[in-house]
Structure 1
Amino acid sequence: MNVKRVLLIEGCVNLFICCVKLFVGISANSAAVIADAVHSFTDVVNNIMAWMATNIANSPADKDHQYGHQKFEQLAVFGLASLLSIVAFEMLINAYNRFGQAVEQNYLGLIVLTGTLVVNILLTIWQRYWAKKLASDLLEADASHTLSDVLTTIVVIVGWQLAAHGYYWLDTVFAILVSLLIFYLAFKLFQRAIPILVDYSDVDPSAVSAEINRLDSVDSVVRVRSRKVPNGRVADLIVTVDPQLTTADSHLIADEIERVLAKKFNIQDVLVHIEPRHRITDHET
């Protein structure tokens, strides 16, 4: 089993759940259930985009993408967040237009919808198992998304049953709640993708400089830059050392700096540029 196969199986299950919910929603004339079906469809789109992004992200670096393709995964997440925002807005409009319309009881549909709830619970547990086994952040995030489907379906079932007993306006209220939940999911996805896409730095340069300056072999830290990447953090820095040191000694200093950054700041990819002290001083003056 690998990440792509897990996503493929999950996509097939989500497509089935989407079709079932849409059938029940149309049969019962429930805006809340239809909204939940649309939400499930976005899960299918999410699985497709995640599968494609994983395929591209795992591609080796080439002449056009010399730093690799890892950011394609975050582009897919950004695209999904945009899609979710549009879907949530459309659901709000649809819920408003259907306000007060009669909602029908459908016990067979209720049983079927409850069945999809159980399937989603089992799917969440299964995804989390493989996310931990494969050490995949993407599967872990997707499992959290599937868990939100469980909560959404519970809310939808409660709203549908109340509306079917004559409280028609509650169907619209619960449809709006589902829309707001989708907006929240979109916000969390934006929050995850944007910092990586814009090279956001979540490490304090002064803290890094302070740790590096503790090393006896380092004269000073001239510059520290870091950024988030899909699999952690990367950094590059310029330090000055005694100009009398050999190339081999300078290399050992760079190795020591890499170990410090990995241990203290969880920065696993580091580029250290070492300059002789007088060269920096002459340049600055």
Structure 2
Amino acid sequence: MDKFKAAYMAIGVSMFLVIFKVSIGILTNSISIISDAMHSSMDVIASTLTLIAMKLAKTPEDKCHNYGHGKYEDLAAATQSILIFIVSVTIITQAASRIINQNLITDTLPGIFVMLVSITLHSVTVFIMLKSAKKEGSIALRANALHLLSDVITSIGVIVGLIIINFTGLKIIDPIAAIVVALIIIKTGYDIGKESIAQLLDKSLSTEETKLIGEIIEKHSPPVLEYHHLRTRRVGQAKQVDFHLIFPTSYSLLEAHNISNSIELDIHQNIPAVRTTIHLEPESHYHPYKY
């Protein structure tokens, strides 16, 4: 399944679960189920943002955006993290109010059923989305999948709380479970936000990828005497790599260009979705760049 179909599926599943959870939450007066429904409502918004971002990211390069529009995906992921935080604070506030006012759950069995349905549907959706995100290198789809994965985790927490209430009669566990759910959601939002902001700030590629690029360059030495000024970053799904190569002064431009083409091909074969820019320098004119 491609990433767009996966995003549409996530929206459909989340919309169904919002209606289902709200209905059961109101019926049983369960704040933990209602809080989980609020989380699912954010899933609808997050999945819609992801879909829009992925479509915008596919917009071709233009004279104002020479590197394309890939960062829309990172922006969508960062927005998701903010939404997650807002929902979490709302859940904690509502749960605290229930504890203070003793407005507690009335029935647990319908809630247990709806949580089992939620866990099953979200688990399947997360598996498909993570598979698509890995295949196509989409940070927005991966962030959305992790958001839904937090739903699976929180639903498990809610169902455990409902089972305990069913056997012990301790109804205060319901709002306490909601607060625990909110704290887990905050952690998920933090992880999503941290990664997306790092990409927006042009964080370098992984240590493994950077090391691999260096090893590929060194395989062509000689004639390459040295390389320097290696820089990497991600622009949406694409990876941007640029560096300087130093050749013997006696080497012709054509010879140096052929070697750099060979290096570029090796990098492309080992690192998917990469763009390279190589600056050629003769040994006699080498000078380090200073900032």
1:123 paired residue number: 125
1:101 paired residue number: 103
2:186 equivalent to 1:183: yes
SS in 1 for 2:62: coil
2:7 paired residue number: 7
Q: Give runs of aligned pairs for residues 51-130 of structure 1, distance below 5 A.
A: 51-99=51-99, 100-105=102-107, 107-127=109-129
Match of 1:220 among 211, 223, 226: 226
Q: How has the CA–CA distance of structure 1 residues 70 and 282 changed in structure 2, closer, same or farther, with 3 Å as cutoff?
A: closer
Unaligned runs of 5+ in 1: none
2:240 paired residue number: 234
Contact 1:258 1:268 in 2 (8 A): no
SS in 1 for 2:224: coil
- Residue deviations 1:9-44, cap 9 Å, x none? 321221110111112112222211111001111110
1:244 paired residue number: 250
- Residue deviations 1:176-225, cap 9 Å, x none? 11101111110121132122111112456788657635510122324221
SS in 1 for 2:87: helix
- Residue deviations 1:73-99, cap 9 Å, x none? 110000001110121122112211211
Contact 2:245 2:280 in 1 (8 A): yes
Contact 2:108 2:163 in 1 (8 A): no
Deviation at 1:247, TM superposition (A): 2.3
Q: Distance in 2 between matches of 1:128 and 1:279?
A: 48
Deviation at 1:135, TM superposition (A): 3.9
- Residue deviations 1:152-198, cap 9 Å, x none? 21211222343465312211221111101111110121132122111
Contact 1:200 1:228 in 2 (8 A): yes
- Residue deviations 1:66-121, cap 9 Å, x none? 11011101100000011101211221122112114321015445434433333333
Q: Distance in 1 between matches of 2:107 and 2:64?
A: 58
Q: Distance in 2 between matches of 1:129 and 1:193?
A: 19
Percent identity of equivalent pairs: 27
- Residue deviations 1:220-274, cap 9 Å, x none? 3242212233335322111221233222211112123324545677783211100
Q: How has the CA–CA distance of structure 1 residues 3 and 244 changed in structure 2, closer, same or farther, with 3 Å as cutoff?
A: same
Counterpart amino acid of 1:182?
I
2:43 paired residue number: 43
Aligned residues: 283
Judge which range, 38-47 or 267-276, deviates more: 267-276
Q: How has the CA–CA distance of structure 1 residues 150 and 210 changed in structure 2, closer, same or farther, with 3 Å as cutoff?
A: closer
Q: Distance in 2 between matches of 1:283 and 1:5?
A: 46
Match of 1:199 among 199, 202, 216: 202
1:153 paired residue number: 155
RMSD value, Cα: 3.0
Contact 1:203 1:226 in 2 (8 A): no
Unaligned runs of 5+ in 2: none
Q: Distance in 2 between matches of 1:79 and 1:149?
A: 18
Q: How has the CA–CA distance of structure 1 residues 9 and 209 changed in structure 2, closer, same or farther, with 3 Å as cutoff?
A: closer
TM-score using structure 2 length: 0.84
Between 1 and 2, higher relative CO (CA 8 Å, sep ≥ 6) is seen in 2
Deviation at 1:275, TM superposition (A): 1.5
Contact 1:25 1:31 in 2 (8 A): yes
TM-score using structure 1 length: 0.85
